[in-house]
Structure 1
């Protein structure tokens, strides 16, 4: 047997053993008998929702993942210390890095689920891309154009600017990772599960006993979530999204999900330090098919920090003052590209 073939067999055996271990794992129980999902978790990773063109498959070998992560670490080190003659080298343990390194927490590694490296969270469609319909892309573009040029009043600015919901879709659902504030604290009672989101201190309250959705005219932020247990898996169904949150802006990962979408999430603890988070988005108004994704929620160290948004923030008054000055001078205010 060649060394290369032996290595491949060893990798395959390790993957099978990891999968079997995840399947055999039994989550601890709360005092009232539910699988215990409580604690602080993070989805920080350099894996994103859609698969980049450089990756041709959902999973890649560990060696390829390590090489990619090392390149990303070198790039970030160079950005944090541009005047350092040694810029490009990964930071040493005693070096905290620059401001961005201390403030942001986008993660330094690709996501791994039960030891398997993932290149995208989307698992269906197989190409790892959002399956927008022509109408869906039109809705996305129209909403983006409106947001880019919405300088007339605070109500037309994105929700993150207005401190109503977190940047991008951190609260969701679905809950996606962004540049920072990727922590979640889960608290359970017999009748409710609450997910406290670090970004903008959003709190999702999921009803377990009353599973009837609110009337269609009631459209709360983050939708209306009800849940139930299927074995050790918490299943959460969310409908009744607010029309104001159809645009989830996060640079190139900006997505559009209509107010009529149905999002189904599944939370399964597969190890002491990991929850498998799966979600399905059913939104025929925007997409050609239902799409599905999987993401790890990994145990985080320490509590969730306090999040403050508008305190000392002069950006919105500055934006509006600039728009009023542009009107006075008879010119158009410049648009902002939310996808860059």
Structure 2
């Protein structure tokens, strides 16, 4: 199997069963006192499946055999990464990346995602390629924030996820996507507002019900969200994102969403244990067309605990301090880029799909 899929599989090993098939159309959801479907509780979207399709899969829907093999591949790499460290091995070779975690800390999911009873190779369903349809202008705009990966002059230049301002990837969204770990979301629902507390960095979205976007609204992290009910489906429209969060980066995820993009989400309870989450992202110049996706959230018995971000919150001072030390020595900073967690050979040779 090629490295792209191996990297995706390698980071997606633990937590939670695959989403089951949607229930019949006659399902009656529990309701709140005001008569709307009750989404209260903790939910998870942990999965091997990511927002975009990896090249190894051509189609949106994959077979059960392909799904099982993908899960076995992930389990094999996870087991390798869970092995005890050899204390006699010594320090890593100078100039290499020793990485910051072992597999004890990784919690992205161990099963291929299912929607409507089908195993999915991506959350994106349109366009059929399963990839974000960037225009040349959109792709160029995406490359600008990528430059911050090699800029070490000011803390403001570091992307928000390094500064622990918002969750990495797009966990808080919208759209709300799965990431390397911390994929739980707690929903608290009232007639006037719905709050979604995200495990990753404790982001909290406030959805104003039956409101409207105001031209005076300032851009904000996670955008400005207004919701309404269409029958038993919660529909949420969000715009007005902070420019700093345009680049959504996670291991295996790199998505650009402009500050003035519009994201429309649809939440539909399909059983007591699942809800269907559908989304559409629109922008007139960044994409050749609106792109759409869908995934299933599963109810979780877990609690959401404090997210402490990096230890002591001293990552940014260390990054900038290291750059100053290199400058004093007359050296330039090492160029880096977003990558999969395991840029290395797989433990076994796995044939391509």
Q: TM-score, normalised by structure 2?
A: 0.82
Alignment CA distance shift 1:236-1:20 (3 Å) = closer
User: 1:179-236: CA deviations, max 9, x gaps?
Assistant: 0000000000010000000000010000003x22132561011110000000110000
The residue that corresponds to 2:3 in the other structure is none
Change (3 A) 1:174 1:328: same
Distance, in Å, in 2 between the alignment partners of 1:105 and 1:114 is 24
Cα separation, 1, equivalents of 2:166 and 2:110: 25
Task: Find the counterpart in structure 2 of residue 264 from structure 1.
Answer: 264
The aligned residue for residue 179 of structure 2 is 178
Gaps of 5+ in 1: 1-17, 85-98
Q: Which has the higher helix share?
A: 1
Alpha-carbon separation, structure 2, partners of 1:182 and 1:140: 25
- 67-76 vs 228-237, which moves further: 67-76
Q: Which residue of the partner structure matches residue 335 of structure 2?
A: 335
Does 2:122 match 1:120? yes
Question: Which residue in 2 is equivalent to 1:92?
Answer: none
Structure 2 spans left out of the alignment, 5+ residues: 1-19, 87-100, 341-353
Q: Distance in 2 between matches of 1:246 and 1:313?
A: 23
In structure 1, what is the equivalent of residue 151 of structure 2? 150
CA displacement at 1:310 relative to structure 2 = 5.2
Aligned residues: 307
Query: Alpha carbons of 1:102 and 1:319: their partners in 2 closer, same or farther (altered >3 Å)?
Result: closer
Contact 1:277 1:294 in 2 (8 A): yes
The 8 Å contact of residues 249 and 339 in structure 1, kept in 2 or not, is answered as no
Which residue in the other structure is 1:43 paired with?
45
- CA gap of 1:77–1:19, structure 2 versus 1, over 3 A, is closer
Match of 1:168 in 2: 169
- In 2, the alpha carbon distance for the partners of 1:129 and 1:162 equals 28
Q: Which residue number corresponds to residue 31 of structure 2?
A: 29
User: Matched residues in 2 for 1:217 and 1:208: separation?
Assistant: 16
Distance 2:255 2:203 in 1: 19
Cα displacement (A) at 1:33: 1.2
Q: Say which one has the larger Rg.
A: 1
8 Å contact kept, 1:214–1:224: no
d(CA) in 1 for partners of 2:339 and 2:73? 24
Q: Who is 1:88 aligned against? A: none
Tell me, what secondary structure is at the counterpart of 1:31?
Answer: coil
- Pairwise CA distance, 1:51: 1.1
State whether structure 2 residue 200 is matched by structure 1 residue 199: yes
TM-score, with normalisation over the residues of structure 1?
Answer: 0.85
Give the counterpart of 2:106 among 101, 104, 107: 104
Task: Quote the residue 2:63 is aligned against.
Answer: 61
Q: CA separation in 2, counterparts of 1:83 and 1:220?
A: 43
1:215-234 superposed matches below 5 A: 215=215, 218-234=218-234
Equivalent of residue 131 in structure 1, options 133, 150, 171: 133
CA RMSD of aligned residues (A): 2.0
Please tell me whether the aligned partners of residues 50 and 252 of structure 2 are also in contact (alpha carbons under 8 angstroms): no
Shift of 1:292: 0.1
Relative CO higher for 1 or 2, CA cutoff 8 Å, sep ≥ 6?
2
Whole-angstrom CA distance in 2 between matches of 1:266 and 1:296? 11
CA distance in 1, matches of 2:118, 2:155: 44
Mapped partners of 1:81, 1:310: distance in 2: 23
Closer, same or farther: CA 21–255 of 1 in aligned 2, 3 Å: closer
Distance 1:292 1:35, change over 3 A: same
